[in-house]
Amino acid sequence: MRTGTEGRGNGFSVSTVRETNLQLVLRTVRELAPCSRAAVASDTGLNKTTVSSLVADLMARGLVRETGETSQRRVGRPGVLLALDDTSLAAIGLEVNVDYLAVVAVDLLDRELATRHVHFDARAAGPEASARLMAETVRETAAASALAGRRIVGVSVAVPGLVDPVGTVVLAPNLGWRDVPLGGRLAALLDDPALPTQVDNDGNLGVMAEFRDGTCAGTPDLVYVTGEVGVGAGVLSGGTLLRGASGSAGEIGHLCLDPDGPECACGRRGCLEALAGIGAIVAAAVPDLAAGGLPWTGSEVADLVGAATRRAREGDAVAVAAMERAGTWLGRGLAGLANVVDPGVVVLGGYFVPMGPWLLPSVRAALAEHMFAPDTGGCRVELSGLGFSAAARGGAAAMVHALDTGRLPLPAPAEERVE
């Protein structure tokens, strides 16, 4: 049961009441579609005249459409059915990582319209060139035939690091970025005041994608672990994303597992990332190919992961042992995470997915060995089915869902404005 806000001298301005009710009707159509205006009125408690006016407004904004079908009713004339308009709008999510730029565009139903995966060396390029490439990629994606005629409702960028609420990348060790005002720079390059942009941590957006569209969708205590050169996590607890006091919740890559361990990009020793990050794994799995060490550029990481999994599949003892050892460290790190937040499911993403067959058994064994109460509910570990697009997809979906939970960013088009 949702409750509408009817203006009744309660201090809300009429325009705020209307915006709140537009969002309410949009959420209701999302849940009930296909549904009649009468069903929306009944579910929200708003009166039918108000609902008709709100629906007209949402249709003018390209958010709701009539399906062309009518409801079967025993009494009265049949109602025209409504659904979300999946033809007019799109949201774009990007993910910048050490060795690639991923792009996903989705419609109002979170369905993928387009995806791209570009090998790209963000560390070598630096923040300014990276922002320019992102802006260019957004423009190309918006102009692509898959998005023909659609209005873009928002752009999201996922970054492997700590991001503040205004979109500044405070610290991204593996990109070598510190205090980069990426959100502001990207907005300036896109130069469209009507186009909202957001920047967030890749783990945070990844777990939102898993919660919405992953194989364990709907799990309220859910963790997504990025498997890149860096390792980070997004943590949902009771269905709510943990951000923490300064936005660095989920930075499990820097859990110290071995004080005498190898050096980490953060300057410490024995961090999870230095023991079980993709760089550490390929250095041990294909030492002959990875001799140059980090940082690798462009497609080198993908090539090294490909070689490592190929050798593991062929039974190469060095490659298999490297992955199993990394899996044990990863399981120990996840036990630390599990003792603190007690998730029901941990989903491993990124390059952990192709290495899954060799990682998973030792991850699960070490997790069960080191977590406090493995026999009281325990914690499942699964591989992501969303590939490298999880964080980008989560960001795009976040821009879509901002429409019905935050402020509606879209003014009604002038030629069709409903007053």
Going residue by residue from 353 to 382, which x/- string records binding to a second copy, judged by CB under 8 A?
----------------xxxxx--xxxx---
248 binds a second copy (CB under 8 A): yes
Q: Of 11 and 193, which has the nearer Cβ to a second copy?
A: 11
* Size of residue set near a second copy by CB under 8 A: 52
Q: Closer to a second copy at the Cβ: 154 or 253?
A: 253
Token pair in block for residue 2: 């949702």
Going by DSSP bridges, is the β-strand pair 112-119/100-106 parallel, antiparallel, or unpaired? antiparallel
What is the Cα–Cα distance from 85 to 172, expressed in whole angstroms?
A: 38
| Contact residue for a second copy among 261, 344, 385, 387 (CB under 8 A) | 344
| Contact status: 170 vs a second copy (CB under 8 A) | yes
Task: Please check whether residue 21 is in contact with residue 41, taking contact to mean a CB–CB distance below 8 angstroms.
Answer: no
Contact pattern from residue 178 through residue 217 relative to a second copy, giving x for each residue in contact according to CB under 8 A and a dash for the rest: ----------------------------------------
Task: Provide the minimum distance between the beta carbon of 391 and a second copy in the complex, in angstroms, as a whole number.
Answer: 19
235 binding a second copy? (CB under 8 A): yes
d(CA 26, CA 34): 12
Map residue 235 onto helix, strand or coil. strand
Q: Which stretch binds a second copy (CB under 8 A): 16-24, 26-34, 188-196, 229-237?
A: 229-237
| Binding span for a second copy by CB under 8 A among 50-58, 68-76, 128-136, 252-260 | 252-260
User: Is residue 3 involved in binding a second copy (CB under 8 A)?
Assistant: yes
User: Can you tell me which of 218, 244, 262, 406 binds a second copy, judged by CB under 8 A?
Assistant: 244
Secondary structure (DSSP) of 349-375: -GGGTTTHHHHHHHHHHHHHHHSS-TT
| By the rule CB under 8 A, 143 interacts with a second copy | no
Q: Report the C-alpha dihedral over residues 125, 127, 129, 132, rounded to 10 degrees.
A: 140
To the nearest whole angstrom, how small is the minimum distance from the Cβ of residue 138 to a second copy? 28
For 349, residues 6+ apart whose C-beta sits below 8 A from its C-beta are 206, 210, 224, 225, 226, 227, 383, 384, 386, 388, 390
How many angstroms separate the most distant Cα atoms in the chain?
77
CB of 279 to a second copy, least distance (A): 18
Q: Are 160 and 217 in contact (CB under 8 A)?
A: no
Residue pair 273/253 in contact (Cβ under 8 Å)? The answer is: yes
Contact positions toward a second copy, by CB under 8 A? 1, 3, 8, 10-11, 45, 162, 170-171, 220-221, 233, 235, 237-238, 240, 242-256, 266, 268, 332, 335-337, 339-344, 369-373, 376-379
